[in-house]
Chain A
Amino acid sequence: MSLTPAPLLALASAPALASLPAALVLGAAMAWLLLLFAVAAWADRRAAQGRSVVANAWVYALSMGVYCTAWTYFGSVGRAATSGLGFLPIYLGPTLAMVLAWLVLRKMVRIARTLRITSIADFIASRHGRSRTLAGAVTLLALVGVLPYLALQLKAVASALAVLTGTPVHSAAVGAGVVDATLLIALVLAGFAMAFGTRHLDTTERHEGLVAAIAFESVVKLLAFVAVGVFVCWGMFAGPGDLMARALAVPEIARLVSPPATGGPAFDAAQWFALVLLAGLSVLLLPRQFQVMVVENVSEAHIRRAAWLFPVYLLAINLFVLPIALAGLLVFGPGAATSGAAETFVLTLPLAAGAEGLALLACIGGLSAATGMVIVEVTAVSTMVCNDLVLPLLLRSRYLAARDHSRTPLVIRRVVILLLLLLGWLYHRVAGEAYALVSIGLISFAAVAQFAPAFFGGMYWKGGTQAGALAGLAAGALLWLWTLLLPAVAKSGWIDAGFLVDGAFGWAWTRPEALLGLSGWDPMAHAVFWSLLLNTGLYVGVSLLRPPSAAEAAQAMRFVDVFGAGREAGAVWRGRARVVDLVELLGRFLGRERAAAAFEAEARRLALPPRPPDDEADADPRLVPFAETQLAGAIGSASARVMVASVVQEDRLETADLLRVVEEASALRQLNERLQSLDRLKDDFMSSVTHELRTPLTGIRAMTELMRDDPEMAPAQRQQFLGLVVAESERLSRLVNQVLDMAKIESGHADWQSAEVDLGALCDQALATTAELFRERGAVVSLQRSSEPLPRLKADPDRLLQVLINLLSNAAKFVPAGSGRVELRLQRLAGAPGTVRVEVQDNGPGIAPEQQALVFEKFRQGGDARQRPQGTGLGLPISRRIVEHFGGSLWLRSAPGQGACFGFDLPLAAEETPR
């Protein structure tokens, strides 16, 4: 990229644009689509070989980039050209949502995985008693909201191709060749979604090829956009400073980057907040986002990194939006902002500068943004339409009874994909010129935001009911229609706009953009406020009218407590069902062999006796919820419930029964987890003991072998080796004794004497025993005791002496050689005259706060591993057990560089307190 000091273009008048041959542009577009097929096929092949390319956080984060559609790629520049930084809330909202991803998105993924949920409609319906009505309503709203958005992508593709080939962009008479190309691209995209988005019936099986292609597209669109940004800033202008200086010289452009007081656009806080909220909700609730973030998630651990990588992606793709917008207005004139031409600045700026190659790359970037969105959106919506609209109708017609339907849902989904894309293309042809890119995108965002109360309420509040969710959703959707969609349609001139001024039936308080007299707000903020307020209010209010049914309560527990007791709620079922019926039902949709294998695996997991798949005996009740969950993955939870109900006899379960069963199961699970934890502790202990035994044994063996193999060894060296063998043997004996001691204490089989103990005399004895140790170390040890005589206490004197010796010898090991000071203090505890305190204070290196708890664990020693003195790592744990046995506590007070003070408190009057 050349760094040109002056703009390449004369800025006084809009330049004539070069154009590229149509064959070249269409050829590049088709080559791009073929490349996508190749990437997806390669990823699928790798997955089949067990070498997944999508099982990492980077690909997961990049796949989230499907959020950035043609709306971002072209529309953001258009919005920046009219409102400066007004495009940013659409990306700040997702950033804020991602701050909570580790808490919220992880829960969504866990719920979806546990219940085999494959779409947002299924998520909301499954939570609220697996309601078919609710699933259908969510699907319908998603469909109405998403269709214009699909059209928008195709419109963007058409516009991009038209700009590059020189066909007038904003004319109704778009060249036939280009129109056909858009249709062709739509059909190719349909083929792609069919091939890679509907490969399996069980959609919880991930679509690796599709995800890989989407991640690849995200990289391409980012690189293309940044390349245009860099070219504009440094290729067309002499850097951002030059660009800004020129922009400030033109008053109509300068206002975009000026404060309101000096003629800039007023900052509308309500609009900013509404857009941040909408975008934050949409990044989790748009069908395509749910698909890539929840359904296609490989591992919950990936969320941890993707939660910040995705916002980094958003920031990067937006860095050059404002520079491109300003440059476009300088090159094509301020009028471009209102004519809609600003939305193609990404293409027209390189063309105007004669950089046709870059313009072609920018076009591929835009195509990439549009195709990624289209592919994932139609895949996600086709699952919803199939499971929640078409299959329920077929169920009613009994078409699905007693036949092999392992291909039926796939065929339905493929047909839906084709229809969706054809409808989207038709919408774009008929209405595509009616809205600016930004208006269509925002209207879609506002539609899916209506899922939020039932979605998040259902995840965190057990009181939400099906009736509440339906009431809230219906009210929210109606208000969205009235306050947002109809005004947009009216402003496009399709219907009489009179109601905008007069309201419905002449009632002024119903005016769509000033409901209940709330005027002066930005229409989007106004619509979001009213629709979400009423939606949330009705969800909560109607839910509170009656308690949830048993089915709703069970699902509520599975959602809200998915990390805890909710797991048990899913297994609660009462009634009669035969294995053969369940296998036959599941086999109808998954294939008989797969169904039989699934049941066999689940029976093994539940430790049930093996049974043939055609067994006519009653099945274990836990297999019924299992069958339903498996089926839900294929046809949605609402339809799965109806299908399972048709082959079983279910007993009515009251909410109280459900809660009791869940409580019992939860207690059992906790007990089981505790046992497993103890088992792990035992294994850890055994592993540590054998490790500790091996070290001295290895030393003994090495030295004795050396002595055996070298009869000529010098006597002095032999003597040294023998000394080491004796020392290691002593260490071994000490370790074995301590392990046995620890085991006895822990098992309650230790022998405890009970006698009158004079702690002062014990301290003297301990000091005498360790005196040689301190002398060798060159350390000074002193005893400080309170002047008043301490009464005797009843304990085991040998055990307490063991504790004192252990604390003193520990101190001797850690004090600096030659200058060590250790103080043994014995006193009544201030403020608690019935307690005596013994402290051993040293001037060693001290113990870091994070290691202080560890030193009381078995086989854990404090200090730097390289300078750690020899020891078994059992002294302190044993001492603590002894002190606790006599009703006291052993503690540590230390800070790095300030020595350590180990001490224990013992109740004077306390008798022995058996544990």
Chain B
Amino acid sequence: MDKSEPMLRPRLLALFALGLVLLNLPLVGLWWWVGPGWGPALGVFAVWAGVIGLLAALLERGDG
């Protein structure tokens, strides 16, 4: 096991749960109410980029 594993595991699981809610469940539907226009697309892409950014920060900060 990687030394950072014990710390990383709960954080990744928490990010997965957050991503599941923000990118998935009816919350995504809420973006439709931002429109019409680019608003919904930009909203979803921004959340998507945010999840990736958090993931990169978590994985690149580790000592593995």
Contacts and interface: CB of A to CB of B under 8 A. Distances in A.
A269 B20 CA distance: 13
Nearest to A248: B36
A272 B40 contact: no
A240 B37 CA distance: 10
A509 interface: no
A407 B46 CA distance: 52
Contact of B23 (A254, A276, A307): A276
A257 B23 contact: no
A352 interface: no
Interface stretch (A62-70, A260-268, A395-403, A474-482): A260-268
A422 to B, nearest CB: 40
A529 interface: no
Nearest to B43: A85
A244 B24 CA distance: 25
A301 interface: yes
Contacts of A308: 52, 55-56, 59-60
B35 A259 contact: yes
A3 interface: no
Contacts of B44: 85, 88
B51 A99 contact: yes
A81 to B, nearest CB: 14
B36 A95 contact: no
Interface residues of A, number: 39
Contact of A269 (B1, B29, B37): B29
A99 B12 contact: yes
B36 A99 contact: no
Nearest to B32: A259
Interface residues of B, number: 36
Interface in B1-56: 1, 8-9, 12-13, 15-16, 19-20, 23-26, 28-29, 32-38, 40-41, 44-45, 48-49, 51-52, 55-56
A669 interface: no
Contacts of B52: 95, 308, 311-312, 315
Interface majority SS (helix, strand, loop, mixed), chain B: helix
Contacts of B1: 563
Interface string A239-260: 0100010001000001001111
A244 B35 CA distance: 11
A307 B15 CA distance: 13
A468 B58 CA distance: 37
A278 to B, nearest CB: 12
Given A257-B38, A311-B55, A95 B48 contact: yes
B55 A98 contact: yes
A257 B24 contact: no
Contacts of B34: 259
A611 to B, nearest CB: 36
Contacts of A276: 23-24
B8 A258 contact: no
A305 interface: yes
A267 B32 contact: yes
A299 to B, nearest CB: 11
B19 A272 contact: no
Contacts of B35: 257-259, 262, 264
Contacts of A259: 32-36
B10 to A, nearest CB: 11
A100 interface: yes
A240 B38 CA distance: 9
Interface string A305-321: 10110011001000100
B55 to A, nearest CB: 5
A96 B36 contact: no
From B26, B34, B44, name the one whose CB has the most chain A CB atoms within 10 angstroms. B26
Interface in A420-470: none
Interface in A80-137: 84-85, 88-89, 92, 95-96, 98-100, 102-103
A298 to B, nearest CB: 16
A272 B24 contact: yes
A244 B37 CA distance: 6
Most buried by A among B16, B26, B59: B59
A322 interface: yes
Contacts of A102: 8, 12, 59
Nearest to A303: B59
B26 A267 contact: yes
A273 interface: yes
A486 B36 CA distance: 38
**Which of B19, B33, B36 has the most C-beta atoms of chain A within 10 angstroms of its own C-beta?**
B36
A199 interface: no
Nearest to A273: B24
A160 B59 CA distance: 40
B25 A269 contact: yes
Interface string A533-572: 0000000000000000000000000000001000000000
Contact of B45 (A84, A312, A319): A319
A304 interface: yes
Nearest to B59: A304
A321 to B, nearest CB: 9
B22 to A, nearest CB: 10
Interface of B: 1, 8-9, 12-13, 15-16, 19-20, 23-26, 28-29, 32-38, 40-41, 44-45, 48-49, 51-52, 55-56, 59-60, 62, 64
Given A100-B16, A102-B8, A267-B28, 16 more contacts: A85-B41, A85-B44, A88-B44, A92-B23, A96-B23, A99-B55, A103-B12, A240-B38, A258-B36, A259-B32, A264-B35, A267-B32, A301-B64, A304-B59, A304-B62, A304-B64
28 contacts: A84-B40, A85-B41, A89-B24, A96-B20, A96-B23, A96-B51, A98-B55, A103-B9, A103-B13, A248-B36, A258-B35, A258-B36, A259-B34, A264-B32, A267-B26, A267-B28, A269-B26, A272-B29, A273-B25, A304-B60, A304-B64, A305-B59, A308-B52, A311-B51, A311-B52, A311-B55, A312-B52, A319-B45
Interface of A: 84-85, 88-89, 92, 95-96, 98-100, 102-103, 240, 244, 248, 254, 257-262, 264, 267, 269, 272-273, 276, 301, 304-305, 307-308, 311-312, 315, 319, 322, 563
The 4 closest A-B pairs by CB, nearest first: A267-B29, A258-B36, A308-B56, A269-B26
